Structure 1
């Protein structure tokens, strides 16, 4: 089976930690806590945005985070302290993000990374991703891959690309040209 660039791009956009540590830092590829936590965050975010607006309560946010977070294998972390500190920070920032974005919806017509925002009565496509943490190089690479993926798939760029760094609670916004 031949793998296309778009499939590789989509895989990178889903979890850049599957590639990033190996390619940039020459670390051995193996499952690590960043990969597992990122996949868990992806599932939580997807379920949240697939849920009808009326059910997106604070209690529901806590429930879906709890449902997925309890499945994380704690042995992939260096220590229980690392697990607890990462859990506290990521869950806190994830809850805050989801609670503040209840009015957004997934853009089913596009892909699972795109959300629709209503502005002045019209919908705007935003390519948004929550990542555990980003540095300058990963952010630039992510923007480049996101632009290529989106343009290849849809023939146009999204209005903006947003990356949320969950560990540092920062949002990075890029306007593709």
Structure 2
């Protein structure tokens, strides 16, 4: 059972379908629903005045989108489907009632929010680093490896750099890696 299924099990709701690029909600919208992602990927995004954006959450299947909004009257960022996506939407007030009435759910919800705080702190740490090299190294240390090439622009948004800067850093690392391999081959064949 996914975390979303655990928290939303038994609550009445409805399925919502979003095309890639379509908004799930906007900054300032009233919070009436809580969305659990069933298929696809939805990004929680903060768009800055200069047009740059920062991904605050990458919600995939089994994730609850913008879970802290359960305690808010309005959304403080935008959510958009990165790919075609389907969510299960339940009334925010129904989930809040469940949390008040069931201490086990409230405890699990608190643990989930604590994990999100840890993730946000890591994000803040990454963004505090001065170089693209350091930001990418920290991102990889947390996530394990880079995703496929088609997802690199998302990584650039997450670490707060331009896609071009990220591509240059990846190319630099590959060049260094090839150089090391060539040097190792020279030393082992002697």
| TM-score of the aligned structures, taking structure 2 as reference length | 0.26
**Looking at both structures, which has the greater relative contact order when contacts are Cα pairs under 8 Å and sequence separation is at least 6?**
2
Bigger share in strand: 2
| TM-score of the aligned structures, taking structure 1 as reference length | 0.28
Larger Rg: 2
